[in-house]
Amino acid sequence: MRIEDISSFVPPVRTLMGPGPSDVHPRISLALARPTIGHLDPAFVGMMDEIKVMLQYAFQTKNELTIPVSAPGSAGMEACFVNLVEPGDKVIVCQNGVFGGRMKENVERIGGIAVMVEDMWGHVVDPNKLEEALKANPDAKIVAFVHAETSTGAQSDAKTLCEIARQHDCLTIVDAVTSVGGTPVKVDEWGIDAIYSGTQKCLSCTPGLSPVSFSERAIEKIKSRKTSVQSWFLDLNLVMGYWGGNAKRAYHHTAPINPLYGLHEALLILKEEGIENAWARHQRNHLALRAGLEAMGLSFIVLEEHRLPQLNAVTIPDGVDEAEVRSRLLQDYDLEIGAGLGSLAGKVWRIGLMGYASNMKNVMYCLGALDAILTDMNAAINQGAALDAVKTA
């Protein structure tokens, strides 16, 4: 590529029904373009306070330390782990998909000890297994699990898992990247100690920020650490000087100003709709999509009672080249759906109905496009089979 040949990038207009990013609400796109101001500007500091209040609403919490980390969800995950886990700490990590494995990576890179509680991919985290692991490891200090597994579409019972952790005097770290805004996440009612999410899923926003929230118990643990947090960028003791309650904000790092405009607008849209209404909308559109997919003969890999309405993982019909289907959806319909991840690569599609993208127009468009392509490909496959039958006859 020659630099001389590069010109402004004009992206295609896609319909985003993968595992995120999802369709961005037009009000949010426009908010991104607003004039940049300084990260210590009083006007900006006022907006930061509003973001905190609206994030508390999104997380259903009164936690003071409820802020967006200035980087994508993976950094929000890392912020939770590096602040709460110290070298030598034992952490029970429940894994039922890709993202539980990433939690293990985080614990081990801190020098913590990860005790794995494994469930099959597509299943939920089994509370009984967690209970057993905690009995077998009375020195465990933290329980970490994924509320909404983006790799499978399974939703675990966060309330019960947190109760069990609390009975064993453990703090909890919960991955809610895909759930916040799409299905109920109740930080205070469920007693979650540390939680992280992303902006590019059910909040209808662009990727790049990671909302997090920490309970008083978690903050006590952070403040009483014996070792320093291994990441300077993610050290909440420092970040709080900037995002904290004081009118005087201490510079830590330069906040991503315009993406935060986008998050502010996204949270405002959530507030205007009402979070219960947003949850109901995700469920309603999921049921419509489900009806269509099942009519096409596609089956879900997660049991009905554990399905995330915003992330629909379905098996690939026999004989269908799944990558070709996705490629044709993108090329012919400007429609993105997700591939399988990890051990489910090549085995499932992941169809997202997240945030603004969870609407009836997308449901109908996706079903129509998928049906057209599968019908076309099935015809080709059948023709091939017919030809083969002729040849061998």
Reduced to 3 states (helix: H, G, I; strand: E, B; else coil), residue 93 is strand
Q: Return d(Cα 342, Cα 339) in angstroms, integer.
A: 10
* Shortest CB 103 distance to a second copy, Å: 10
* Shortest CB 87 distance to a second copy, Å: 10
Residue from the set 97, 259, 340, 355 that interacts with a second copy by CB under 8 A: 259
Give the residue with the Cβ less far from a second copy, 11 or 138: 11
Piece of the chain touching a second copy by CB under 8 A; list 74-82, 126-134, 161-169, 377-385:
74-82
By CB under 8 A, the residues from 176 to 195 that bind a second copy are none
Residue from the set 153, 262, 309, 340 that interacts with a second copy by CB under 8 A: 262
Contact between residue 285 and residue 363 where contact means Cβ atoms under 8 Å apart: yes
Contact between residue 282 and residue 358 where contact means Cβ atoms under 8 Å apart: yes
Residue from the set 64, 105, 157, 163 that interacts with a second copy by CB under 8 A: 105
DSSP sequence for 132-188? HHHHH-TT--EEEEESEETTTTEE--HHHHHHHHHHTT-EEEEE-TTTTTTS---HH
Give the residue with the Cβ less far from a second copy, 47 or 320: 47
By CB under 8 A, the residues from 75 to 94 that bind a second copy are 75, 77-78
* Shortest CB 138 distance to a second copy, Å: 28
By CB under 8 A, the residues from 214 to 243 that bind a second copy are 228-233
264 in contact with a second copy (CB under 8 A): yes
Cis peptide before 42 (omega within 30 of 0): no
Locate 291 and state its tokens. 């009806």
Q: Return d(Cα 374, Cα 332) in angstroms, integer.
A: 13
Give the residue with the Cβ less far from a second copy, 242 or 279: 242
Give the residue with the Cβ less far from a second copy, 156 or 210: 210
369 in contact with a second copy (CB under 8 A): no
CA geometry: angle at 258 spanning 252 and 263, to 5°?
95
